[in-house]
Amino acid sequence: MAGMDVLRFEERDGVLMARVVAERLVDLPVLDEFRDQLFAQAGSRPKMKLVLDVSAVTYLSSSALGKLVAVFKKVKETGGAMIVAGLKPALLPVFKVTSLDKVFEFHADPTAAVLELQRKRF
């Protein structure tokens, strides 16, 4: 599935901004690509600082939540931190009912999330 347009990456002073360009995080090929690209980024980054900008996402499946958990665990393995930014309010219930709102850190504004991670020391 190489070449699938799922994520755009941007380096911002030690923080990796990964912007999800897929509107629907639903289908397995898209989700596998999503995970694989982020795993590849984590592979070369000790103490990875990741802002996952999901502002374009209109809906996601429970499988997408599973991939987010996988990426979160990978980032933690590097000793780093991850913020989910720009989540549409209509999607927050999905995180609340699965208690993932207690696992992930959220920020409404992706740029502010980058600044927050830039300030973070490990």
Partner 1 sequence: MGGVSSLRPPRRVNVWSGRAPSTAEVLVARSWPSDLALKQQMIDEVSACLVAGGYLESDDEPMLCICLDEAFANAIRHGNRQVVEKPVGISVGVDRERWFVVVDDEGEGFDPNAVPDPTTEAGLMAESGRGIRIMNAWLDQLAYYRDGRTILMARRRADRYSAPTSSEG
Residues engaged in binding partner 1 (CB under 8 A): 24, 26-28, 58-63, 65-67, 69-70, 73, 88-94, 96-100, 102-103
Cα distance between residue 54 and residue 18, in whole Å: 9
For partner 1, give the closer residue by CB, 10 or 24: 24
Cα distance between residue 33 and residue 19, in whole Å: 14
For partner 1, give the closer residue by CB, 8 or 76: 76
For residue 10, the minimal CB distance to partner 1 (Å) is: 27
Which of helix, strand or coil describes residue 11?
strand
For residue 40, the minimal CB distance to partner 1 (Å) is: 18
Strand 59-60 relative to strand 24-25, pairing? parallel
For partner 1, give the closer residue by CB, 10 or 27: 27
Which of helix, strand or coil describes residue 90?
helix
Q: Are 25 and 34 in contact (CB under 8 A)?
A: yes
For residue 8, the minimal CB distance to partner 1 (Å) is: 23
For residue 11, the minimal CB distance to partner 1 (Å) is: 27
